[in-house]
C-alpha cells in the first residue's frame, strides 16, 4: 500500500517541500542497465534496507559499508538527518570515490546549506551537474539553478530540459512543475495546452515514484 511521507529536506533543498507517494523499494528503471558489480552492491544494500529494526539495520549496513557504495550513500544521508555532518561527509565522499553518482545530491545539499562545510554554491552546482544525467532528483534540483540564474546565467531551455528528464523518470514534483509552467507560461515558456494535458495525464496514472528510495536507509 502506498503511503504519503514528507521527503527529508536534503531531497528538496531548493524547491518548496511537499509530500510524495512512496512505495516499497524496487529498483528504479534508470538503474536496470547498471553493470553487474553495481547491481550486486545495490542488492546487498537493499537486504539491509528491508530490515525493520533500526539497530539491526545499522549493523547490517556497517558490515558492508567499507566496500559498498550504496551502503556509504545511505549511511551518509542517515548521518545528515542525524546532523552528524562529519560522518555524513566521510560516507558521501567514500561513495563518490567509488563512482556512485547518487551521493552527489546529498553532498550538494550540505554545500548549499553550509551544514558541516563552508557554504560553496560552486561546489553544489558542480556536484549536481556531474550527476544530473544519472540521477533524476539531481536533475530536478539543478533545473532551478538554470531557471533562476543561481550561480549561472539564466537558461530556461536547459532548466526545462532538466525538469522534463526528471519528470520522465517519474519525479512527481517535476511533473507538477511542468504542468504549472505550460499552463501559466512561466520561465519564458509559451502556454501549451497539449503539454499541460500530457503531464496531467501522466500524473493521473499515479506511476510510483521510486527515485528517493535509493537514498533511504
The pLDDT, as a whole number, for residue 31 is 45
pTM over the 0.85 mark: no
Tell me the average pLDDT across 84-88: 97
Report yes or no: 212 and 22 within 8 Å, Cβ to Cβ: yes
Predicted local distance difference test score (pLDDT) of residue 21: 27
Q: How far is CA 135 from the centre of its chain?
A: 6
Is 130:104 a contact under the CB 8 Å cutoff? yes
How does residue 112 score in pLDDT terms, banded at 50, 70 and 90? very high
Mean pLDDT over 79-93 rounds to 96
Q: Is residue 15's pLDDT more than 50?
A: no
CA 15 to chain centre: 12
**181-190, pLDDT tens digit by residue?**
999 999 999 9
Amino acid at each position: 500500500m502506498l503511503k504519503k511521507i514528507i521527503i527529508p529536506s536534503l531531497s528538496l533543498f531548493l524547491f518548496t517541500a511537499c509530500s510524495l507517494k512512496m512505495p516499497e523499494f524496487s529498483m528504479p528503471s534508470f538503474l536496470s542497465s547498471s553493470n553487474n558489480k553495481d547491481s550486486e552492491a545495490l542488492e546487498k544494500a537493499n537486504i539491509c534496507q528491508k530490515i525493520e529494526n533500526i539497530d539491526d539495520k545499522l549493523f547490517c549496513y556497517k558490515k558492508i559499508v567499507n566496500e559498498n557504495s550504496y551502503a556509504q550513500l545511505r549511511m551518509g544521508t542517515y548521518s545528515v538527518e542525524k546532523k552528524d555532518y562529519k560522518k555524513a561527509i566521510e560516507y558521501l565522499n567514500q561513495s563518490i570515490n567509488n563512482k556512485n553518482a547518487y551521493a552527489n545530491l546529498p553532498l550538494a545539499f550540505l554545500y548549499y546549506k553550509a551544514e558541516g562545510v563552508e557554504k560553496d554554491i560552486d561546489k553544489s552546482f558542480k556536484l549536481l551537474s556531474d550527476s544530473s544525467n544519472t540521477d533524476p532528483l539531481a536533475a530536478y534540483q539543478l533545473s532551478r539553478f538554470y531557471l533562476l540564474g543561481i550561480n549561472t546565467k539564466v537558461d530556461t531551455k536547459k532548466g526545462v530540459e532538466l525538469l522534463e528528464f526528471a519528470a520522465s523518470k517519474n519525479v512527481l514534483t517535476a511533473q507538477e512543475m511542468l504542468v504549472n509552467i505550460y499552463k501559466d507560461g512561466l520561465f519564458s515558456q509559451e502556454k501549451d495546452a497539449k503539454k499541460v494535458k500530457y503531464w496531467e495525464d501522466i500524473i493521473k496514472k499515479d506511476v510510483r515514484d521510486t527515485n528517493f528510495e535509493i537514498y533511504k536507509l
